[in-house]
Structure 1
Amino acid sequence: MSHAEHAPIAPQTPKIPTVRSFHGDDFVDNYEWLRAKDNPEVRSHLEAENAYADVVTADQGPLRETIFNEIKARTVETDLSVPARKRGWWYFTRTAEGSQYAIHSRVAATDTADLAADWTPPAIEAGVAIDGEQILLDGNQEAEGKPFFSLGGMAVSEDGNLLAYAQDNAGDERFTLRIKDLRTGELLPDEIENVFYGLVFSPDGTRVFYTVVDDSWRPHQIKAHTLGTDPATDTVIFQEDDAGMWLGFDLSADRTELLISIGNSEYSETLSLDLLDAQGIPRMLVAREHRILHSVDPVILDSGRAYVITHDREALNNMVSLLRADQIDLPYAQQRWETVIEHRDTVKIEGTAATATHLLIAVRKDTTERIQILPLAGLGTAAQQEAVEPAFDEELYTASLANAELEAPMIRLTYTSDFTPARVYDYTLADGTLTLRKQTPVNNYDPEKYRATREWATAEDGTKIPLTILRRADVSNDAPNPVLVYGYGSYEASMDPGFGIPRLSLLDRGVVFVIAHVRGGGEMGRAWYLDGKKLTKKNTFTDFVDATKHLIDTGWADPARIVALGGSAGGLLMGAVANLAPQLYAGIIAQVPFVDALTSILDPELPLSALEWEEWGNPIEDAQVYDYMKSYSPYENVAALPYPKIAAVTSLNDTRVLYVEPAKWVAKLREETTGSAPIVMKIEMDGGHGGASGRYEGWKTRAWDYAFALDTLGLNPADG
């Protein structure tokens, strides 16, 4: 019998036509009925999809198990974070072998006359408890008996006596807020359902601030809950009614101001709530009407309180200005914004943070993220000093601020590169001393066996596209190789260098892992992002195709053995390149893919749709945007093409990219393809946007994806 006679039969998806009409265009959608999540027929269909995927990928099972075991073997499972000091305690997390989730702990700090000693983390050994250790929250106990577990925030009161935490047990990112008395270990009766990310206590510990989402999953309210009262009486501190704006808050470094931020990808607004005034109301700092995209950090200078503003006013890549408190209530045109850091075409300023003595600036230079340190003394005046930047040896790396306490004499930095496991440094502000506190241990790993290099592909319009090429040291482009190409390219998100254990399982099998830093991301500054959004979005897709062609032309890639990988908005990229150039790829893996983008954004009642208008345009109001989006949205453009092997991986409870998008896409792909390669959908029935919860489940998900890629590249031992 032929292979075709043995091949399993894919689920047959019934066609139930519905018509979507906008701007005189009628689009017939045969699979929109799959959106009815609670319909038993839909559930049955999704289960059939899982069963089909299981059969099609059954011979990948041993390879998945091998990859999982490789990840597990390389991971030092019993580990702990470097303790970070906050007020009178050292906070840290532990992980234990065999446990899915972290344990959050603390131990009391001591204060002497020696600041350096007081801020030197205590020596804590992995797997060994220390005297006085207090467990704040054990994720394993919290998750017991529940299908899913994730934390949406934790906060400790100023006096250290209370813990507020938000927990999700479904994967839909709607959390339950609880309060724990750390003196007794008992939960307070206060319990609030359906809160969003972010928690802050008032300085006196009597109130906790949190956000609430509306029916479209957009955070639209900030509320204050007074402990011991009915949550139904919680005070609305701020409400944002514009469906295109995202609401959030942060705490000032001195913990006296709640900074309320409202914004989208193009402009924002910031208000301040004085937490020392129980009757206070939010005060406007920078209004949205000025159309400035910005962030704000309060600082204390010799002259008094001031606000450091990172902004794009006449500064595409941002600049940093100082607005003194006495300028806030003046009309905008009369305010004096003193320049702290000027705009630079070659450096993107990402944001700031502050201690009592220094301003910390996150910048992106030569595509990579770095930290610069600037004394507050003389800030904004002729006496301002030069910023300094900690030096590292590698060309491609990521250095980020992990922690900066107001009174600390040092700041905490994290450092990583593609082949350097995460390091934790303390940087002493007074003299620039960089002290390595920890390098994440990795079993059976030698960084000298691998290489990371930068190449530049040329797009059809002449734009140079940065590529990161990761490989084993003995692999070169002298002979073509199996290649996995990864891309994202949206929301100004940068795919920065970072170590990952799972990726080693690909590289060790001779696969070249390439990250295509396509337009729409943020690697090359603000212009790079603007040239890949709204009516230039197609640059993201053609950049990826041109990057793939570069890999073939330069000898890196075997033309018959290339797999593409992307998730979420990167899944939109996967769907677009499947339509643009299916012949280039042996396989495509689309994780939680945004492949029915136009349908979703046309419905403002769907989660986050209205917020997406600043990224893609508003196809409801603008016929040009509608036509442009329809010309690339993957679902609408599936055609009679020889599609390669495709895996769509999704989760039933994902609120960011609904499961229905890949479900519809897969059905239409099977209907239209002129090829014979299998097209499967794997759906996690208890997961969210990040898949199933727990580190072992995460490893299994990665092993599934990588086994699918290796099988497609002809590297599955089961195939002989």
Structure 2
Amino acid sequence: MKYQFLLSCVCLTFASAIAQNNKPKMVEKIKAPLAAVKPKQLEKHGHVRTDNYYWLNERENPEVIDYLNKENDYYNAMTAHTKQFQADLFEEMKARIKEDDSSVPYLYNGYYYITRYEKGKDYPIYARKKGSLEANEEIMFDCNEMAKGHSYFQLSGLSVSEDNKWCAFGVDTVSRREYTIQIKNLESGEILPVKLEKTTGGSTWAADNKTLFYTRKDLVTLRSDKIYKHKLGSEAKEDQVVFHEKDDTFSTYIYKEKSKKYLVIGSSSTLTSEYQILKSDNPDGKFELFQKRTRGLEYSISHFGDSFYVVTNKDKATNFKLMKTPETATAKENWVDLIPHRKETLLEGIEIFKDYLVVVERNNGLNKIRIMPWSGKDEYYLPFDIETYTAYTTTNVDFDTEILRYSYQSMATPSSVIDFNMRTKEKTIKKEQEVLGGKFDKNNYTEERIWATAQDGTKVPISMVYRKGIKKDGKNPLLLYAYGSYGSSMDPYFSSIRLSLLDRGFIYAIAHIRGGEDLGREWYENGKLLKKKNTFTDFIDCSKYVIEQQYTSAKHLYAEGGSAGGLLMGAIINMAPELYNGVIAQVPFVDVVTTMLDDSIPLTTGEYDEWGNPNDKKYYDYMLSYSPYDNVKQQKYPNILVTTGLHDSQVQYWEPAKWVAKLRVMKLGDSQLFLDTNMDTGHGGASGRFEAIKEVTKEYTFLLDLEGIKK
């Protein structure tokens, strides 16, 4: 739920003709599976709900696995006629990707670090070079070798000690985001036998190069609740608990400041944050509170010189402001303003350099990067010319430099990594994403930002891209994507995979609906808790607008969202099913009330500030009024593809499974309804870069087939 589902970034070539027959070829006489009805009464606040499919949450029950397999068999049979198209799309998408690719190296503590891929291989290789890019390459981790024998593999949280000798790393082979941390001697290549299990994967070394701090998860809820301290040479059972976050609405984590002077333990909920600090050269000392938690007070800290810089909403700074405090007096009464609160500008973060402060802002829904010399002279913003771009700072680990590294992309412009000299204002493009095949030209595409009017008069931006020459005649297929939760902004981005839709006549659009933070903090506040329905009605109003403006029509409009965006999909098809020909719901959070009442389900308690606590009747009633599963009704629904993973730790597989089971018996008409469960993965889908593309080809052929596009 909480973590934004990252839409897969993959795309295709020009094949413009849209068939006149928009009805896909249907496979005849294949019977859809029906889940057994086993009524369970659920009572709260004197209200009783009957859940006929509650039993599907029994992960180890063979009957559950059998049902999921039958749904997969049905999906595969009903889409068998598209399998060759899927294979062709896969090869088309893969052909655009530079297989032997590598990241832009960055220098840290005397080494250049590089992530690269080799042709034909699914996983990255992590390497480094000492002192110079001409030096011999040291391969730290070859994930292709490490992934052998696993259907899923994820390496995370690489953490190198300050003496450059040790590297801690986390591995997940289940896709439940439970990592086992191990430690590698980078000089000898030996991996120590100790295994630190049930962790987040991340870890941080103290300055002594012997002490490693890491975060463990609760075995049932998967909440990150304990910080441990491990000493090289000791066994895992000897590790000490440094901090236990007992409030089940908070999660905890640990990191080291960019200055390397302080270790920091963070605790956060949706609305509140708290930090504890300890000098890194004193790992056995006691962490001290920076500023104790106060409900509603959010802040983040960055150390520089003899001070901390604090981004905070203190003093009702809804869009946040920047404050400063001495490192010896960190309580909030010592904080003083550096950049005051601004009603129209959201302060998202900062980067600190020896001679410059870089401020990342958002205004009118657009990213801004502000360069502020510490001297106070001649501050300025980086110039960006269009309205459908994304720009953000990337890897900036060095204090003593005048070079800022940032990334830029737009819906038609591949991603670039840029080194910008803050003194001379010279810009060096270190790398631009290559789109292979020789057919891509960004000048063949049009980008625009339009504004829909929501039912309460609010203007909602929509970013879109399409191939030049498209006519606004209502006949264009259009895929509208959105997320709309947790204050996660859906910025416009480039996808080479998406070209496979654009070059076949699709318009691709992102609705920047409330519930995200696209237009500032109030944009988020007006799309959560008892205002959550604004998220759904905004999307519906955006859908109506693109139809009114004849970009598309209800016969050709498609919607997609994942995780909390899958909740959005479930809500809109209950509320306005007539607007869409097809909907893709990826790992959808659709059984809101039942999940939020079960505090044993991973991550539930930390969600109360986002959705509300249904143990309070007003939140129960409000959730019940929009929960997709509870509001399925006898009506016509659009064609629907639902995806999930058996090991999903964020949205449990049974939510989409129950939803599909209920839709099967309630929906009227002959629209398609598919449940595709990956029996090997979790929330993020397949782990290999090419396996992930195969998942996208399923989604794209679902859409293209509905449009009668066969190749």
Which TM-score band (shorter chain)?
over 0.9
Quote the Cα distance in structure 2 between the aligned partners of 1:40 and 1:512: 43
Quote the Cα distance in structure 2 between the aligned partners of 1:472 and 1:651: 34
Q: Which residue of 2 aligns with 1:16?
A: 38
Give yes or no for the alignment of 1:30 onto 2:52: yes
Using a 3 Å threshold, how does the CA distance of structure 1 residues 416 and 464 change in structure 2: closer, same or farther?
same
Asked if 1 retains the 8 angstrom alpha-carbon contact of 2:165 and 2:187, the reply is: yes
Q: Which residue of 2 aligns with 1:655?
A: 649
Give yes or no for the alignment of 1:256 onto 2:258: no
Per-residue deviation, 1:531:
0.7
Per-residue deviation, 1:250:
2.5
| Of 344, 351, 354, the match for 2:352 | 354
| Of 573, 577, 586, the match for 1:578 | 573
Letter in 2 for 1:368: L
DSSP-derived class of the 2:128 partner: strand
Per-residue deviation, 1:270:
1.5
Q: Which residue of 2 aligns with 1:433?
A: 426
Q: Of the two structures, which has the highest relative contact order with CA contacts closer than 8 Å and spacing of 6 or more?
A: 2
Asked if 1 retains the 8 angstrom alpha-carbon contact of 2:577 and 2:637, the reply is: yes
DSSP-derived class of the 1:558 partner: coil
Per-residue deviation, 1:515:
0.9
Q: Which structure 2 residues correspond to residues 193-592 of structure 1 after superposition, within 5 A?
A: 193-214=197-218, 215-289=220-294, 291-300=296-305, 304-328=306-330, 332=332, 335-377=333-375, 384-385=376-377, 387-404=379-396, 405-443=398-436, 444-592=439-587
Per-residue deviation, 1:714:
2.6
Quote the Cα distance in structure 2 between the aligned partners of 1:398 and 1:413: 10
Quote the Cα distance in structure 2 between the aligned partners of 1:313 and 1:156: 39
**1:354-387 deviations in Å (ceiling 9; x for gaps):** 233322221112212232222335xxxxxx4454
Asked if 2 retains the 8 angstrom alpha-carbon contact of 1:17 and 1:31, the reply is: yes
**1:530-566 deviations in Å (ceiling 9; x for gaps):** 1110000011111111111111111101221111111
Q: Which residue of 1 aligns with 2:19?
A: none
Per-residue deviation, 1:306:
3.3
Letter in 2 for 1:218: R
Quote the Cα distance in structure 2 between the aligned partners of 1:683 and 1:506: 24
Quote the Cα distance in structure 1 between the aligned partners of 2:559 and 2:271: 30
Runs of 4 or more, structure 1, over 6 Å off, are none
Per-residue deviation, 1:152:
2.5
Q: Which residue of 2 aligns with 1:380?
A: none
Quote the Cα distance in structure 2 between the aligned partners of 1:359 and 1:217: 37
Query: What is the TM-score when the length of structure 2 is the normalising length?
Result: 0.94
Q: Which residue of 2 aligns with 1:164?
A: 168
Quote the Cα distance in structure 2 between the aligned partners of 1:109 and 1:442: 31
Quote the Cα distance in structure 2 between the aligned partners of 1:677 and 1:505: 25
**1:460-479 deviations in Å (ceiling 9; x for gaps):** 11111111121101113145
Asked if 2 retains the 8 angstrom alpha-carbon contact of 1:666 and 1:679, the reply is: yes
Quote the Cα distance in structure 2 between the aligned partners of 1:312 and 1:349: 13
Structure 1: stretches of 5+ with no match in the other structure: 111-121, 123-129, 378-383
DSSP-derived class of the 1:635 partner: coil
Q: Which residue of 1 aligns with 2:589?
A: 594
Per-residue deviation, 1:353:
2.6
Quote the Cα distance in structure 1 between the aligned partners of 2:529 and 2:307: 39
Deviates more, 1:662-671 or 1:307-316: 307-316
Quote the Cα distance in structure 2 between the aligned partners of 1:350 and 1:6: 53
Per-residue deviation, 1:411:
2.4
Asked if 2 retains the 8 angstrom alpha-carbon contact of 1:189 and 1:228, the reply is: no
| Of 677, 680, 694, the match for 2:674 | 680
**1:299-326 deviations in Å (ceiling 9; x for gaps):** 11xxx33333333432111111111224
Q: Which residue of 1 aligns with 2:618?
A: 624
DSSP-derived class of the 2:555 partner: strand
Give yes or no for the alignment of 1:46 onto 2:51: no
Structure 2: stretches of 5+ with no match in the other structure: 1-24
Quote the Cα distance in structure 2 between the aligned partners of 1:352 and 1:474: 41
Give yes or no for the alignment of 1:690 onto 2:694: no
Q: Which residue of 2 aligns with 1:709?
A: 703
DSSP-derived class of the 2:334 partner: coil
Q: Which residue of 2 aligns with 1:116?
A: none
DSSP-derived class of the 1:98 partner: coil
Quote the Cα distance in structure 1 between the aligned partners of 2:451 and 2:673: 32
Quote the Cα distance in structure 2 between the aligned partners of 1:336 and 1:278: 26
Quote the Cα distance in structure 2 between the aligned partners of 1:82 and 1:288: 39
DSSP-derived class of the 1:79 partner: coil
Q: Which residue of 1 aligns with 2:636?
A: 642
Asked if 2 retains the 8 angstrom alpha-carbon contact of 1:310 and 1:352, the reply is: no
Letter in 2 for 1:104: Y
Give yes or no for the alignment of 1:603 onto 2:598: yes
| Corresponding residue pairs, total | 683
Quote the Cα distance in structure 2 between the aligned partners of 1:478 and 1:675: 28
Per-residue deviation, 1:5:
9.4
DSSP-derived class of the 2:381 partner: coil
Using a 3 Å threshold, how does the CA distance of structure 1 residues 448 and 347 change in structure 2: closer, same or farther?
same
Letter in 2 for 1:42: V
Asked if 1 retains the 8 angstrom alpha-carbon contact of 2:34 and 2:664, the reply is: no
Quote the Cα distance in structure 2 between the aligned partners of 1:612 and 1:675: 36
CA RMSD of the aligned region, Å? 1.6
Identity %: 38
Quote the Cα distance in structure 2 between the aligned partners of 1:376 and 1:280: 33
DSSP-derived class of the 1:499 partner: coil
Using a 3 Å threshold, how does the CA distance of structure 1 residues 386 and 339 change in structure 2: closer, same or farther?
farther
Letter in 1 for 2:319: N
Asked if 1 retains the 8 angstrom alpha-carbon contact of 2:560 and 2:569, the reply is: yes
Give yes or no for the alignment of 1:138 onto 2:136: no
Per-residue deviation, 1:501:
1.0
Letter in 2 for 1:356: K
DSSP-derived class of the 1:289 partner: coil
Quote the Cα distance in structure 2 between the aligned partners of 1:65 and 1:590: 22
Query: What is the TM-score when the length of structure 1 is the normalising length?
Result: 0.93
Per-residue deviation, 1:236:
1.4
Deviates more, 1:588-597 or 1:406-415: 406-415
Quote the Cα distance in structure 1 between the aligned partners of 2:295 and 2:606: 19
Quote the Cα distance in structure 1 between the aligned partners of 2:519 and 2:471: 27
Per-residue deviation, 1:171:
0.5
Per-residue deviation, 1:336:
3.2
**1:606-661 deviations in Å (ceiling 9; x for gaps):** 000001101000001x1010000001000000000101111110100010000000
Quote the Cα distance in structure 1 between the aligned partners of 2:317 and 2:586: 35
Letter in 2 for 1:152: S
DSSP-derived class of the 1:62 partner: helix
| Of 179, 182, 189, the match for 1:185 | 189
Asked if 1 retains the 8 angstrom alpha-carbon contact of 2:403 and 2:421, the reply is: yes
Deviates more, 1:61-70 or 1:492-501: 61-70
Deviates more, 1:200-209 or 1:429-438: 429-438
Q: Which residue of 2 aligns with 1:103?
A: 125
Quote the Cα distance in structure 1 between the aligned partners of 2:217 and 2:77: 40
